[in-house]
Amino acid sequence: MTRFTEAVELLEALGAKVTEVSCPHFKYALPAYYLIAPSEASSNLARFDGMRYGLRVGGGSAEDVMAASRAAGFGAEVKRRITLGTYALSSGYYDAYYGKAQQVRTLIIRDFEAAFAQVDVLISPPTPTTAFDIGERADDPSRCTWRTCARSRPTWPGTRRSRCRSGSRRGQPAGRPAGDGAAAGR
């Protein structure tokens, strides 16, 4: 957070007016994202069966080819997301999980619209920490999931976002995303 705070202070020193805005539903962004994104991935990746689309591995029956192709073509994290998404979209859970997550997405979009009625640019840390070293968290998917919290909400309302480098920490680049209100009518 030090680099982020320094970047905000620099913007103020350059003449930017920095104001806090209230986005009360952002705290629900991560759980909603982790229901919506895997559901969409599950639906979209279903076509990668090794028959018409995607990697083709093995031979034999269509079921054998599909199973071998998906086993070889999708890594552990992708399989985890497909499984979660398939569950969220399944009969009996669609309204309870995916439908509710879509409602939360709508609330977050409204938060963005209200924020962009007050300001031209939103700035926040892109992730809670700097990048992990290669392989550092390979065995800890929940830690990697947590890092997504700041990246999961900016594109939902159709806003553009960019990441600006603002120094480094532990030899890793540190940055900040900035989203503008162009898509929100600003």
CB atoms < 10 A from the CB of 76, how many? Answer: 9
Give every CB contact of residue 155 below 8 A, 6+ residues apart in sequence: 161
pTM equals 0.70
* pLDDT for the residue numbered 179: 47
Residue pLDDT tens, the chain, 186 long? 677 788 888 889 999 898 989 989 988 888 888 888 889 888 888 777 777 777 888 888 888 888 888 888 788 888 888 888 999 999 888 989 999 999 999 999 899 899 989 988 888 776 666 666 666 666 766 666 655 555 555 566 677 666 666 666 666 665 544 444 443 333
* pLDDT for the residue numbered 98: 92
* pLDDT for the residue numbered 46: 79
* pLDDT for the residue numbered 14: 92
* pLDDT for the residue numbered 173: 60
State the Cα torsion 144-148-149-153 to the nearest 10°: -160
The residues pairing with 162 across neighbouring beta strands, listed in sequence order, are 178
* pLDDT for the residue numbered 184: 37
Exposure string for 35-53, b = 16+ CB within 10 A, e = fewer: bbbbbebbeebeebbbeee
* pLDDT for the residue numbered 34: 83
Distance, in Å, from the CA atom of 3 to the CA atom of 17, rounded to the nearest integer, reads 19
* pLDDT for the residue numbered 167: 63
